[in-house]
Chain A
């Protein structure tokens, strides 16, 4: 060949028999997972499960079983609301426990200072949670990811200090005692209601315009802003919604426990639990937080009585292991499988 013309070789298509090989190797598990992705099936499962949970107490569960269930529901509510700010917008809130404490103290202070009946105070907790989120979120949500996380940790610790220091107002470390309500069935339904509303709300949010904007903020905030999304608004909304739900749960929990003090309303363990449950289930997924909360609480209840030193070590190790081996969580890894299976099925259709 003379050197006068450049050589040309067309980029070859991948050999066809390779695709066939890949198909036959598709694991059965992935197909099963993909079936779970069918929305009708999921809605059906959800309704059936909910119905079962609604009637369960009628069959005379004992108090400790009721408490276990309501604890699971409560954590589903907490993790799912935390997921809205931390998972959807990517602004991981390491001080989310502050809202739990604010909720509890809203109820406690209204009951002791204004002598309101507890149930009248319930609407105030989310309102105060919302206001606090607004006031703190406006400056702090301007911070980049990591800075926001630890600044919230600061907000959390600062509020605990305030609750301890202004003891004339808050009762300090002596705490506040409520009139005890020992109706476990009542709390079962209350927390079940909260969990269902939050989870369904998350499902709705994920499909809404607002939810898409939150994900856009997580993926690329500057790009989202450039596309005309009001990122400040989106972040604040996520934060305020998450904060008010958590405050509501905090107030309900305080009432159920009938006693609050800074150490239990603003406890560090809340953070590690939230982080571990959601990471385990799948941060930023719709069902992951609920899944993680359920798995975690059931495991914890069977393995540990108290949250002492052994608990710290065990769950610290668990967190490390989950981060290193299952960074997308159960739901995230499952979703990956589903995508893979879908891609494979699509490949099959194409090759026909």
Chain B
């Protein structure tokens, strides 16, 4: 029993990170209809930024976090204005190929700059643990959960309580109507993409001090984020968070109870879950936009 609750806690911590990453994907996908295949690579760029800040400048990742998020917003904004905007209203294949290409470039550049050796952002508290109710979490993981929760709450507030958020939601629901009421769609796209990348840069920053990362991790993260978005239903923030928790829990449960195969089966488990959910509930566990062809 004691062990199970520990595993559940670990799963929730992991789920918090996944929620952050998946929310970024979901936002961009929901608003622009662009599935960003470079998403995982963007998480890694965030992680490497934090690692660089710590390694060369001695700045703690938590202090660098706001700056890295701002960089993420800028990066996403520029990426959208220069490249992604050209494929938004074209067949989905175009945006898949484009972001796939961006991902390949990012992976190549990360490999060149940082090699394929796994890195961890080590801080003064890397080896510390926090205990609650007799359970322990490594301090960096506690920060990961805390950071994810804070950022997600702020994101929720931004999307639901501000004028910018209102315009993003309007564009997601009906682009033609949004144009008609005077919303600048291109600007909304750039902002949404910027926010999405800021979220994953934050995710990467938090992940980087909690566990090792390397350039080839990108597609894996993209896949998991996608699985979560589908599970949770596109454009449903609560659904995304819930699904992220489910995926995090499955992963830690597998890893601790079926250790021989469990650690290597993250994607396989998530994938099977996605297939099952899609067959049973085509709109994800919490409803949301329909994902099937409708025939």
Contact = CB atoms under 8 A, between A and B. Distances in A.
* Chains A and B touch (C-beta atoms under 8 A apart): yes
Interface of A: 86, 90, 92, 94, 136, 139-140, 142-147, 149-151, 153-155, 157-159, 161-162, 164-166, 221-222, 225, 231, 268, 271-272, 275, 279, 283, 308-320, 322-324, 327
A272 B100 contact: yes
B172 to A, nearest CB: 15
A149 B35 contact: yes
Given A94-B96, A279-B97, A316-B105, 15 more contacts: A90-B93, A94-B100, A140-B278, A149-B93, A150-B37, A154-B223, A157-B219, A157-B220, A161-B265, A161-B268, A165-B264, A231-B295, A312-B111, A320-B98, A323-B97
Chain A to chain B: the 3 pairs with minimum beta-carbon distance, closest first? A312-B108, A316-B104, A319-B101
Contacts of B282: 142
B66 interface: no
A312 B100 contact: no
B226 A150 contact: yes
B145 to A, nearest CB: 26
Interface in B101-131: 101-109, 111-112
Given A145-B92, A161-B264, A275 B97 contact: yes
B102 A146 contact: no
Contacts of B93: 86, 90, 92, 145, 149, 283
A317 B295 contact: no
B162 to A, nearest CB: 29
A151 B222 CA distance: 11
B90 interface: yes
Contacts of A145: 92-93
Interface in B44-98: 83, 86-87, 90-94, 96-98
A149 B274 CA distance: 13
19 contacts: A143-B278, A144-B290, A144-B291, A144-B294, A147-B291, A149-B93, A151-B274, A157-B220, A157-B267, A158-B268, A222-B293, A272-B101, A310-B108, A316-B106, A318-B101, A320-B98, A320-B105, A323-B94, A327-B90
B158 to A, nearest CB: 25
